[in-house]
């Protein structure tokens, strides 16, 4: 269930190096390779000159699939061709990460 706090986190253009490292620990969503880039979904938020989507919309892609995705130009179609709902993956992964970091914060507060 998405909370109001979670929905706010999904609409902001978050910058979080720790989350990008967390994404890079996952395998490529297309082929499963472990060496991946954190690809920012271009169709997840409104875009403008110099505006990259927030880090919460990053998904793991190996270099080959990352470059292929950028070459196609129609990102939503590229994901559909691979049968992957990258938006759903990003939302779920960011929610899990938020729960994980909340637990870490609570453990630090207990010390």
Please give the model's pTM, rounded to 2 decimal places: 0.77
| pLDDT score, position 20 | 96
Residue 5 has pLDDT above 70, yes or no: no
Q: What is the mean pLDDT of the chain?
A: 83
Residue 48 has pLDDT above 90, yes or no: no
Higher pLDDT pick, 100 / 8: 100
In terms of residue numbers, what domain contains 80? Answer: 14-110
| pLDDT score, position 62 | 98
Is residue 4 one of the residues assigned to a domain? no
Is residue 87 one of the residues assigned to a domain? yes
Is residue 1 one of the residues assigned to a domain? no
- Domain total in the chain: 1
Which positions ≥6 away from 73 have C-beta within 8 Å? Answer: none
- CB burial string 30-66: b at 16+ within 10 A, e below: beeeeebbbbbbbebbeeeeeeebbbbbbbbbbeebb
Of all residues in the chain, what percent carry a pLDDT higher than 70?
72
């Amino acid at each position: 269930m998405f909370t109001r706090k979670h929905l706010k986190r999904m609409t902001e253009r978050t910058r979080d190096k720790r989350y990008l490292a967390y994404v890079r620990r996952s395998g490529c969503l297309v082929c499963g390779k472990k060496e991946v880039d954190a690809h920012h979904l271009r169709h997840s938020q409104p875009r403008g000159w110099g505006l990259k989507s927030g880090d919460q919309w990053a998904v793991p892609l190996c270099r080959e699939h990352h470059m292929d995705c950028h070459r196609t130009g129609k990102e939503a179609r590229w994901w559909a061709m691979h049968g992957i709902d990258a938006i759903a993956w990003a939302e779920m992964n960011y929610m899990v990460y938020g729960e994980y970091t909340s637990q870490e914060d609570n453990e630090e507060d207990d010390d």
